Amino acid sequence: MSEQAQYVPGPASGAQVHKDGDKWTLILVRQLRHSPEKVWAALTDPAQLREWAPFVVDGGLGTVGSVNITWVGNPQPLETKVTRAEAPCVLEYGDIRWELEASGSGTRLTLWHSIDRRFISWGAAGWHICFDVLDRFLAGNPIGTIAGVNAMKFAGWQRLVGEYAQQFGVEGPNWSAPAAQKS
């Protein structure tokens, strides 16, 4: 059985929401066992992003300028401006902001992502899984990108979305995900 097939997301944690009317910002924090420089490379290098992120880019994100981002599930590339790139501390593009802070022998990684409030628990669950995949990739144990519909097929997806919905005080989604993989 592949590493990806054995993956099950852990419990919802490290997330909060900043609410401003219909504009909500997901704030997700994860402690990684890797240096800020190594994490920065994974956040900015197109080849490394393909290993864990829910999108692909046509250029590096490590410098201010324009890139095209293609999100999983949306084949239309979106021109996106990298507005801040201060290696290895702060990265901003589109409606996303990353902060990296050295913490012990690793990095405290914080993500801010503006998400439609109706999908905030899905966004939290999706990024939670991406962070798990990122951590494994950086540790030299890649399991491949798990995003979009593929994430929804994993055992534990509905549980994770429900946990974040409860944590954020929002109604959980009323849907049925594609058939879950057996763990």
Q: What is the pLDDT of residue 20?
A: 83
Minimal CA–CA distance to 70: which of 134, 144, 145, 138? Answer: 145
Q: What is the pLDDT of residue 183?
A: 40
User: What are the extents of the domains in the chain?
Assistant: 14-168
Q: What is the pLDDT of residue 139?
A: 96
Contact 32, 111 (CB under 8 A): no
pTM attached to this predicted model? 0.91
Tell me, which fold does domain 14-168 have in CATH?
Answer: Alpha-D-Glucose-1,6-Bisphosphate; Chain A, domain 4 (3.30.530)
Q: What is the pLDDT of residue 11?
A: 93
Q: Please say if the pLDDT value at position 17 is more than 50.
A: yes
Residue 156: pLDDT band with limits 50, 70, 90: confident
Q: Please say if the pLDDT value at position 53 is more than 80.
A: yes
Q: What is the pLDDT of residue 112?
A: 98
Residue 97: strand pairing partners: 92, 112
Q: Please say if the pLDDT value at position 100 is more than 60.
A: yes
Q: What is the pLDDT of residue 171?
A: 83
How high is the mean pLDDT of the chain? 91
